[in-house]
């Protein structure tokens, strides 16, 4: 602390406390002014002080505590001024010492040493009249003119000056308040920016806050740069840098901005005379441009990094966006690339990369990658690639397959060739329908021609050429099997069922065929029962099977559910014999 300033302040203020008229009550306040250093340098900022009076320079006893107990004030370049009030009682004529404690953050106070001795001046608080080498006490009702140029006011002054004061102030005027400067630096009071705001500062009238030369302007907080405004050579496209003083925009880059964060940089790429109109919104360690070599172009820029960490739009890249995330890269010389976020993604010309380790390395590619720990990269231009190990859902948040599409009612996926005459084909999952065959079925539909070509019902029935199948496979139209039409069924209006079987004559066992049962009733006699009855009498043919022996097989009566077969030898004797049959009739 500065003891000399203390003594001066107390001396002057102590004199002011003396009454000019014994009828006027004394004031026990006095001003203390001092210097506060921290780590050997003047401190600036807010500080909280506590002042106490003691009867000794060390140890001793406390005499009084200031009112109020603590004082919060601003310290500028180490200098502070406070008003103290211990009352008049402590000043009995004995030595007094001032102990000061201070803190600049929430926490315990630090007691400063040594204590400051108070000179005799404060004891003017005990004087009732100024009687020696001073003005006579009393009230001066007439004007008192001190017009001798030799008059000197030394020390601190506490009071009010009404009217015009002419003279020279020796000091910094720290404690002077309520001063209205008519002119200062050749400008009137309305031209200065006030800490409580200005009125009438209309830019259209030429009012502004800033500079008139071609040098940067900085605003600081707590001694550190918070805002930096950099002019370009013409002054028309300045750069704006906010946040950490480690953020920078390099020379010959103009019209660009850094919105905050720390260690963000916009470089001038090697080989470029200028770059412009790029933005890093925030984050940390983000870079636009590069100090690495690259091909020369006329202008570069127009890039945006929205935030995140360690994102990089590389040299000679223009019109690109990285919205955020971490370790994302827009490739050198790239244009119109987008990385909306994620991490470790890469994109090039007209490409899109998102998620985790998506690499849109070819022009026009779209790559989205899930959290799988592996690169997922395009292999050709203009690809649309998705890696989603949990499935891709369209209309559903819970896909159960690699791709699942859901929507109310009929849901279709369409494909169409753009060649002349190409048809629009759709795969349809049908919704509920009054037609039981159509309800919840699957169809392949030719939307260009307007017809369903294949229907599969939930009951397993398949219709080709019909949306109302009546069997497991219902084909409306001609049916061809085999490369050379080994089996050809002409389309007709009837819905037929065909049964074929091979029977062992000695037992009636079924060797081949299905949809029927066989009962051997006697030698050479067999009854065939159809599992599903025909709706009308079927046509039945029987053929005996012999091994060098002449045998006969005849149909001995039939109806829609059964057929009786007999086998004979040449003597017309009933005899067991293997045979085959075919029965065809309406369902």
pLDDT one-digit tens code per residue, 465-484? 898 888 888 888 777 766 65
- Fill in the DSSP letter of residue 23: T
Is residue 247 in some structural domain?
no
Query: Is residue 22's pLDDT more than 80?
Result: no
Q: Model confidence at 420, in pLDDT bands (50, 70, 90)?
A: very high
Kindly list the distances between the CA atom of residue 125 and the CA atoms of 14, 52, 575, in Å, as whole numbers in the listed order: 6, 18, 153
470 and 582, same domain (yes or no): no
Is residue 319 in some structural domain?
no
- Fill in the DSSP letter of residue 78: T
Percent of the chain whose predicted confidence (pLDDT) is above 70? 78
Residue 97 sits at φ, ψ, to 5 deg, of -130, 140
480 and 565, same domain (yes or no): no
| Distance from chain centroid for Cα 572 | 97
Q: Dump strand ranges (E) for 523-561.
A: 525-530, 539-544, 552-558
470 and 549, same domain (yes or no): no
Q: Model confidence at 90, in pLDDT bands (50, 70, 90)?
A: confident
Q: How far apart are CA 256 and CA 281, in angstroms?
A: 11
436 and 452, same domain (yes or no): yes
Residue 568: give its domain's CATH number.
Answer: 2.60.40
Query: Is residue 257's pLDDT more than 50?
Result: yes
| pLDDT at position 296 | 32
Is residue 343 in some structural domain?
no
- Fill in the DSSP letter of residue 204: G
Q: Model confidence at 16, in pLDDT bands (50, 70, 90)?
A: very low
Is residue 353 in some structural domain?
no
- How many other CB atoms are found less than 10 A from the CB of residue 500? 15
7 and 101, same domain (yes or no): yes
Q: Model confidence at 542, in pLDDT bands (50, 70, 90)?
A: very high
Q: pLDDT tens digit string along 41-75? A: 999 999 999 999 999 999 899 999 999 999 999 99
- 310 touches 324 (CB < 8 A): no
| pLDDT at position 403 | 93
**HSE-up (13 A, CA, CB side) for residue 414:** 10
Is residue 231 in some structural domain?
no
The residue ranking higher by pLDDT, 26 or 48, is 48
Which residue range forms the structural domain that includes residue 563?
A: 496-586
Is residue 121 in some structural domain?
yes
C-alpha triplet 303, 308, 313: angle, nearest 5°? 30
Final residue of a domain: which of 106, 126, 146? 126
Final residue of a domain: which of 478, 493, 508? 493
Final residue of a domain: which of 466, 493, 520? 493
142-151: average pLDDT: 64
471 and 525, same domain (yes or no): no
State how beta strands 275-276 and 300-301 pair: parallel
Q: How many domains does the chain have?
A: 3
95 and 7, same domain (yes or no): yes
Q: How far apart are CA 572 and CA 71, in angstroms?
A: 138
Counts for the chain of helices (H) and strands (E), in that order: 1, 51
Is residue 462 in some structural domain?
yes
313-333: average pLDDT: 91
141-168: average pLDDT: 62
Q: How far apart are CA 412 and CA 320, in angstroms?
A: 37
457 and 501, same domain (yes or no): no
Q: pLDDT tens digit string along 165-177? A: 666 666 666 666 6
443 and 552, same domain (yes or no): no
| pLDDT at position 355 | 96
**Burial (CB count <10 Å: 0-12, 13-18, 19+), residue 580:** middle
466 and 569, same domain (yes or no): no
Q: Model confidence at 388, in pLDDT bands (50, 70, 90)?
A: very high
Q: How far apart are CA 411 and CA 429, in angstroms?
A: 5
Residue 10 sits at φ, ψ, to 5 deg, of -70, -40
519 and 556, same domain (yes or no): yes
| pLDDT at position 274 | 75
Is residue 536 in some structural domain?
yes
Q: Model confidence at 267, in pLDDT bands (50, 70, 90)?
A: confident
| pLDDT at position 132 | 44
Residue 173 sits at φ, ψ, to 5 deg, of 65, 30
428 and 480, same domain (yes or no): yes
- Does the global pTM surpass 0.75? no
């Amino acid at each position: 602390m500065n003891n000399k300033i203390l003594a001066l302040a107390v001396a002057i203020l102590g004199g002011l406390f003396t009454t000019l008229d014994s009828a006027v009550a004394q004031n026990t306040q006095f001003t203390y002014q001092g210097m506060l250093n921290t780590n050997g340098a003047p401190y600036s900022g807010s500080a909280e002080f506590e002042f106490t009076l003691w009867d000794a320079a060390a140890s001793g006893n406390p005499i009084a505590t200031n009112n109020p107990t603590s004082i919060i004030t601003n310290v500028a370049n180490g200098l502070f001024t406070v008003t103290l009030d211990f009352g008049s009682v402590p000043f009995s004529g004995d030595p007094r010492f001032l102990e000061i404690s201070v803190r600049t953050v929430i926490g315990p106070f630090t007691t400063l040493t040594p204590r400051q001795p108070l000179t005799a001046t404060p004891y003017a608080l005990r004087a009732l009249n100024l009687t020696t080498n001073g003005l006579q006490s009393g009230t001066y009702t007439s004007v008192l003119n001190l017009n001798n140029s030799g008059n000197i006011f030394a020390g601190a002054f506490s009071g009010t000056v009404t009217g015009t004061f002419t003279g020279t102030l020796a000091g910094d005027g720290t404690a002077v308040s309520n001063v209205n400067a008519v002119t200062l630096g050749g400008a009137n009071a309305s031209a200065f920016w006030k800490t409580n705001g200005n009125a009438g500062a209309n830019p259209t009238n030429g009012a502004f806050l800033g500079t008139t030369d071609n040098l940067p302007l900085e605003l600081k907080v707590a001694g550190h740069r918070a805002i930096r405004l950099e002019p370009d050579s013409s002054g028309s496209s300045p750069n704006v840098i906010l946040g950490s003083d480690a953020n920078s925009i390099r020379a010959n880059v103009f019209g660009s901005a850094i919105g905050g964060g720390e260690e963000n940089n916009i470089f001038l790429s090697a080989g470029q005379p200028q770059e412009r109109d790029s933005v890093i919104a925030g984050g940390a360690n983000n870079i636009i441009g590069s100090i690495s070599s690259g091909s020369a172009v006329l202008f570069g820029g127009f890039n945006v990094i929205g935030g995140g960490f360690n994102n990089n739009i590389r040299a000679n890249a223009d019109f690109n966006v990285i919205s955020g995330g971490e370790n994302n890269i827009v490739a050198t010389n790239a244009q119109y690339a987008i990385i909306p976020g994620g991490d470790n993604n890469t994109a090039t010309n007209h490409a899109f990369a998102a998620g985790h380790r998506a690499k849109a390395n070819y022009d026009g590619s779209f790559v989205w990658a899930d959290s799988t720990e592996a690169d997922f990269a395009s292999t050709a231009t203009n690809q649309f690639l998705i890696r989603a190990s949990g499935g891709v859902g369209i209309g559903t948040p819970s896909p159960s397959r690699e791709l699942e599409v859901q929507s109310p009612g009929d849901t279709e996926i369409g494909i169409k060739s753009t060649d002349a005459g190409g048809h629009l084909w759709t795969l349809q999952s049908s919704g509920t329908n009054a037609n039981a065959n159509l309800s919840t079925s699957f169809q392949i539909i030719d939307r260009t021609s307007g017809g369903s070509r294949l229907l599969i019902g939930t009951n397993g029935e398949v219709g080709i050429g019909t949306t109302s199948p009546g069997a497991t496979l219902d084909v409306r139209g001609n049916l061809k099997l085999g490369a050379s039409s080994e089996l050809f069924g002409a389309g007709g209006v009837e819905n037929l069922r065909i049964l074929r079987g091979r029977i062992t004559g000695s037992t009636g066992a079924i060797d081949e065929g299905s949809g029927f049962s066989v009962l051997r009733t006697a030698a050479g006699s067999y009854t065939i029962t159809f599992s599903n009855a025909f709706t009308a009498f079927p046509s039945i043919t029987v053929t005996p099977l012999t091994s060098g022996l002449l045998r006969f097989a005849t149909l001995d009566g039939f109806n829609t559910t059964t057929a009786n077969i007999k086998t004979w030898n040449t003597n017309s004797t009933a005899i067991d014999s293997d045979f085959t049959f075919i029965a065809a009739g309406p369902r």
